[in-house]
Structure 1
Amino acid sequence: MDWYLKVLKQYADFNGRARRKEYWMFFLFNILISWGLQGIALTTGNSIIGYIATMYGLAVLLPGIGVSIRRLHDVNKSGWFMFIALIPLVGMIWLIVVLAKEGDKGPNQYGVDPKNPTDELDDIGVAQV
């Protein structure tokens, strides 16, 4: 849950790098919350819950794009590579493979390695002062 909250705190941050764990934990919690809200809305027939689910989806849109771009930066790809998902079938498969790939070791053009223990980062990748 800490990783999910970390992404929400970096609401529209498109700079830097994101670890695999950060991206996939955000993805997991986002899916669980979305499915939970939609499930409640469908089973109760309550349209207010449906609106809440829609508002939640809109609220996490920018953090989701931001963490995806930072994840692409970790594998030394530009954020513009997200548009490759628009290619039917092949694009989405390629994007999933890239997002699941281990990030570059050491610094790259997008920043320092978020997994490098010598950079004095805490467990969820926040720099300690």
Structure 2
Amino acid sequence: MKFEESIKICFSKYADFKGRAIRSEFWWFVLFTTLASLALSMASETASAIFSVATLLPYLAVGARRLHDTNRSGWWQLIWIVPLIGWIILIIWMAQESTGENRFDNEV
């Protein structure tokens, strides 16, 4: 999946927590939000804050779909609350390959 395509998909599924997201879709969206937030913070802290709030829901949605792709519940995103260990675990899970067929394939 290409950069533009993944951004388009993530915004078209703005609050869609069902289904699965492939690894490249998630990581391209992470790159986009990080770079855009950095660029906006150089221009204006307010603009960066507004952008971060506007992209929070699609970021959580694509994160949940990415965890679904590894056969985990989207609620596992809350593990980031545990400093350092939680972040490392999430990064490892998000970087894993797809599991093939799993319980999240037939969500409607």
Q: TM-score, normalised on structure 2?
A: 0.90
Unpaired runs of 5+ residues, structure 1, are 42-49, 113-129
> What does 1:46-125 correspond to in 2, within 5 Å?
50-105=45-100, 107-111=101-105
Q: Percent identity?
A: 39
Unpaired runs of 5+ residues, structure 2, are none
Amino acid aligned to 1:76:
N
Cα RMSD over matched residues? 1.1
**Equivalent residue for 2:33, pick from 30, 34, 38:** 30
Of structures 1 and 2, the one with the larger relative CO (CA 8 A, separation 6+) is 2
Runs (4+) of structure 1 exceeding 4 A deviation are none
Deviation at 1:40, TM superposition (A): 2.0
Higher helix share: 2
How many pairs does the alignment contain? 103
Bigger radius of gyration among the two:
1
